[in-house]
Amino acid sequence: MEALLFLVNAVVSFFSTLLLLRFMMQWCRVSFAGQLGDFVVRLTDWAVRPLRRIVPGMGGLDWASLVAALWLQLLQAAVILSASATLLNAEGFGMFLMLLMLTIRGLLRLFVYIVMGVVILQAVLSWVNPHSPVAGPIGQLARPFLAPIRRFVPPIAGVDLSPLVLILLLQLLLMFI
């Protein structure tokens, strides 16, 4: 049973991460024309295209990708709860509340991990290869999260410490989620 839970968690987390990344890329106005965008679109179109008939885009955002990630997280939460004894003790509304809490918690954690990964990748690329083809999209994804911190933490001797501060804040946030 543990192997099945591990497999479900790995597959669902992978696709949920890609779906959230697709939503974030559109939110941050990152072009899908590059290698990263093409990869994300090709691996998520199976879920997003059919959902667009039901969930229209609003405010310039493709809400279908977020809904697809939500459904995958809901599926994962249902599998986890059905495999545990917690489900046996819960009934009706209590079970629904547990499913909803696990789903939202899972999405929030994935979102935080994506932001952490993007910020770390952006910081590394800025030092190692700032002209890499993925440096532009990664920088665009990191900018909305780093900009508020950069207002309070100026570069010291040309070194930008805002990624470090953001990662510490995100790790603190993970402790509460």
The pLDDT value recorded for residue 81 is: 76
What amino acid occupies position 21? L
Is 145 a residue whose pLDDT tops 60?
yes
Rounded Cα–Cα distance for residues 58 and 62 (Å) = 7
pLDDT in tens, 57-98: 888 888 999 999 999 999 988 887 777 755 556 666 777 888
pTM comes to: 0.88
Rounded Cα–Cα distance for residues 171 and 177 (Å) = 10
What value does the CA radius of gyration of the chain take, rounded to a whole number of Å?
Answer: 18
Read off the tokens for 88: 């046996």
On the CB side of 40, CA atoms within 13 Å amount to: 22
Is 25 a residue whose pLDDT tops 60?
yes
Task: Find the DSSP H helices in the chain.
Answer: 2-27, 35-52, 63-83, 86-89, 92-128, 135-152, 162-176
Which of 58, 25, 57 is closest to 41 using CA atoms? Answer: 25
Rounded Cα–Cα distance for residues 128 and 70 (Å) = 35
- What's the length of the chain? 177
